[in-house]
Amino acid sequence: MGTSVAPWKQLLFSAIESNSHLSHSSYLQLATIGLNGRPSNRTVVFRGFEENSDRIQINTDLRSRKIEELKHCPFSEICWYFSDTWEQFRINGRVEVIDASNPDQTKLQQREKAWFANSLRSRLIYICPTPGSPYNNSEQPNQEVKLDPSSGPVPEYCLLLLEPEKIDYLNLKSNQRLLFSSMASGTGEKCWTSEKVNP
């Protein structure tokens, strides 16, 4: 049972597949706790699962506010609504931040792999002026900014890994709602339980 696909993951794969004709279907909302203790919420892009794992990959800029927030409180809830199939996944868990300073070689390789999985255009974002800082026209990169397609990740590039602990699944067409919770088994394997609840 430990090696089988988590039951919610099958539902998520199916939703991703059924909504893949919509370009915004890979967009989800990531909530964190702001440094002032208030909620913070923004749209990010789903970048697939970590290999052989349930962890959700998200790219971000090391200079963005969510990095500071996640270092202060490493928990997040994703809200992912699929507009064609009327399905919602609320995925709660801990987020690991992997930047260039990570001491673990395996994690650095994972970050590099995720970097190259991005389009060249997506990689260019990390060379832009600091997100959220006052706009200064003279500071904007000119159109000539080039990035060697074979260059590895820039220091500003950061990989986030969300480890799902609880999933709240809602299907507004069938009016069904399922809660999935993870537990560590005796052998350290992750086990999932599920419960049908009222929508």
138 and 129 Cβ atoms separated by less than 8 Å: no
Q: Which stretch binds its own copies (CB under 8 A): 3-11, 50-58, 103-111, 189-197?
A: 189-197
**174 belongs to the binding site for its own copies (CB under 8 A):** no
User: Which residues make Cβ contacts (< 8 Å) with residue 52, sequence separation at least 6?
Assistant: none
- Residue 25: both structure tokens together: 């279907």
Task: Report the site for its own copies in 119-138 (rule: CB under 8 A).
Answer: 128-135
- Residue 40: both structure tokens together: 């913070």
Q: Element (H or E) spanning 124, and its range?
A: helix 120-124
Between CA 147 and CA 43 the distance in angstroms is 26
Q: Would you say 131 or 152 has its CB closer to its own copies?
A: 131
Q: Would you say 100 or 179 has its CB closer to its own copies?
A: 179
Q: Would you say 40 or 182 has its CB closer to its own copies?
A: 40
State the residues that interact with its own copies by CB under 8 A: 22-24, 27, 29-34, 37-43, 73, 75-79, 81, 83, 88, 90, 92, 128-135, 177, 179, 195-199
